[in-house]
Amino acid sequence: MATVDAVDGRAPTWQGGFGRLWSAAMLSSFGDALRNSALPLLAATLTDRPLLVAAVTACGYLPWLVFGLLGGAVADRVDQRRAMWTVDAVRGLLVACFAVAVALGHASIGLLIALAFALTTLQTLFDNASTALLPTLVHRRALGSANARLMTGQQIAGGLLGAPLVPVLLWGGAALPFAADAVTFLVAAALVASLRTTLPERKPRPAGSTLRREIAEGLRALGRDRALRGLCAATALCNVGVGALIAGLVLLVTGWLGAGTAGYAAALTAYTVGGLTGGAASGRLVARLGRVRAVLLAGTVQIGALVVMGSVRSLATLAGAMAVFGFMGMVWNVNTRTLMQERAPAEMLGRVNAAFRSLAVAGAPLGALLGGAVATAWGLNTPALFAAAFFVLSVASLIPALKVNVSVVALDDATTASAPR
């Protein structure tokens, strides 16, 4: 039987497994923010070609297309806790080696691309294992609260604390953000390794079962569920836009707006503040609209935010639009992940999540490369407008999923509460 750490089936407690998982997620997000903010800034010092800067972002998504399905199948076969801490330990060592290379002056665009590809390759196993592990730590009715708390905590650590700290750390040398990231990976690995949870009993695999057959089962399970299928298509389309926006954001802020690295940090901070508010408000929106309608509203509002980003030449206005974009992005992410955990068969959750993520993330590397090409051809502000067009397509593709009977959930104080302190 799974170990469930809940008081009333609605609010996860901080003691035991969930508290340690939350702490590990906070640390990892803090380190990820340092690295993800420093990488494009470092890339921009190595080249002024938008397409090469965008390639670093694209290679941060590409492994999901190559290894994502395999990572999900492996996550359903192995001890998810062990897989997670092993992956974090390896990633910590990789980033530590990269920090040494940067300190010695050996950084190059090629090395940045290789690092992004390697870290995301490992992440395909980590994320699938993490998604499958959470339902063993909290009650099924507490999944919405748990996901909101995890994502809100990650926003606090990553955007509110980590990203704004990057310019300060860079004063101490270009290698310092990456060295700090390596430490967070290793500490997070230790926290996950200390988890004590009993995994659900798995049915014996049929004779002759192969990874390929198990991957196909996950794809079929995703295809049979109209709500998850619609969300997957919508997420794939919006990720084309997100890839273009992320790849071009540093150049939009530092180049088109002329706001420098401080302006870039301000934009990321605004996004984080919006995300925190979205995590607090997600439960109330779902209580009124239901999960699928809440996601539809989120995508619709994000279209307007993207148009503002690409058309108004003001740092303050961009920051406001980023805050709105972050608010609705959190609503989208919390409810998409919760629907996945609620509707997918428990023994196939890793594979269904992998199928969803691999298909949905497919648009991001394409969007990053297209965003670089669009910025080169028509200006540094155009990737945001390009992203808005794909969000329109995303919202349109989500409308058929509204016909699915996904009930409006009861208002959950834990979901709507402010971020944990």
Query: How far is CA 379 from its chain centroid?
Result: 27
409: left (phi over 0), alpha (psi -120 to 50) or beta: beta
Measured CA to CA, the distance from residue 198 to residue 201 in angstroms comes to: 9
* Nearest Cα residue to 189 out of 300, 339, 24: 24
What is the number of residues in the chain?
421
| Nearest-5° Cα angle at 23, 365 to 416 | 80
Categorize the per-residue pLDDT at 89 as very low, low, confident or very high, splitting at 50, 70 and 90.
very high
Query: How far is CA 189 from its chain centroid?
Result: 19
Q: What is the DSSP string of 349-417?
A: HHHHHHHHHHHHHTHHHHHHHHHHHHHHHH-TTHHHHHHHHHHHHHHHHHGGGGGS--PPPPP-HHHHS
pLDDT digits (tens, 9 = 90+) for 339-378: 888 888 877 888 888 888 888 877 887 888 888 889 888 9
pLDDT digits (tens, 9 = 90+) for 149-184: 888 887 778 767 776 777 777 777 788 888 988 999
Enter the tokens of residue 31.
């380190």
Domains located in the chain, CATH noted: 17-199+213-400 (1.20.1250.20)
Global pTM value = 0.70
Q: What is the mean pLDDT of residues 35-43?
A: 79
pLDDT digits (tens, 9 = 90+) for 385-400: 999 999 999 999 888 7
pLDDT at 13: 58
Q: How high is the mean pLDDT of the chain?
A: 80
298: left (phi over 0), alpha (psi -120 to 50) or beta: alpha
pLDDT digits (tens, 9 = 90+) for 117-150: 888 888 888 888 888 788 877 777 777 777 888 8
Whether the pLDDT of residue 2 is over 50: the answer is no
pLDDT at 297: 93
